[in-house]
Amino acid sequence: MLTRIDHIGIACFDLDKTVEFYRSTYGFEVFHTEVNEEQGVREAMLRINGTSDGGASYLQLLEPVREDSTVAKWLAKNGEGVHHIAFGTADVDGDAADIRGKGVRVLYDEPRRGSMGSRITFLHPKDCHGVLTELVTSAEPSSAEH
C-alpha cells in the first residue's frame, strides 16, 4: 500500500545553483547528497518533513553527470522542472507486482538501488496520465548513507 509522497524529483542543469535557490527562498536544507552512477545523476535530497510511518517527504534535485543519462535526455527535451513523483511503500516488490497486474508497465523487472539506500522502480508515464511515477521503499535508518 502506498503510504505517502516520498519525493518530487526535479531535473536541473546546475545542482549547486538549484540547491541555493531552495535554501535561500524556502529555507530547505540539504539532508543527503550522492552520485548515482547507474542512473547518471548527482542529487541532493532536501527534507521537507517527517511522516508517521517513519519516512519523510523530500524534494530530490537531479543534475545529470553524463549526456546519455535519462535525466540529461529529459532536460534536453523539456528543460528544468518536475521530472517525477515518488510514492513511498513498505513493499516496493509487492506494490509493483500489484500495479503491473492492473496493466501498468513497470520499467524494471526487479527494483534497483535508489537514493539513501532505498529500493525503487518506475511506472511508465504513458500508463500514468503523463507522469513518470516512482515507487520507493526506504532503507532502514541504520543502512541509509549520509
Residues with a catalytic annotation lie at 7, 43, 60, 84, 134
Residue located via cell numbers 508515464: 125
* CA-atom Rg of the chain in angstroms: 15
Q: Taking Cα atoms as reference points, which of 125, 83, 135 lies closest to residue 104?
A: 125
Q: What is the distance between the alpha carbons of residues 44 and 115, in angstroms, rounded to a whole number?
A: 9
Determine contact, residues 35/4, Cβ cutoff 8 Å.
no
Please provide residue 38's backbone torsions phi and psi, each rounded to the nearest 5 degrees: -60, -40
Q: What is the distance between the alpha carbons of residues 92 and 59, in angstroms, rounded to a whole number?
A: 20
- Residue 122 one-letter amino acid: F
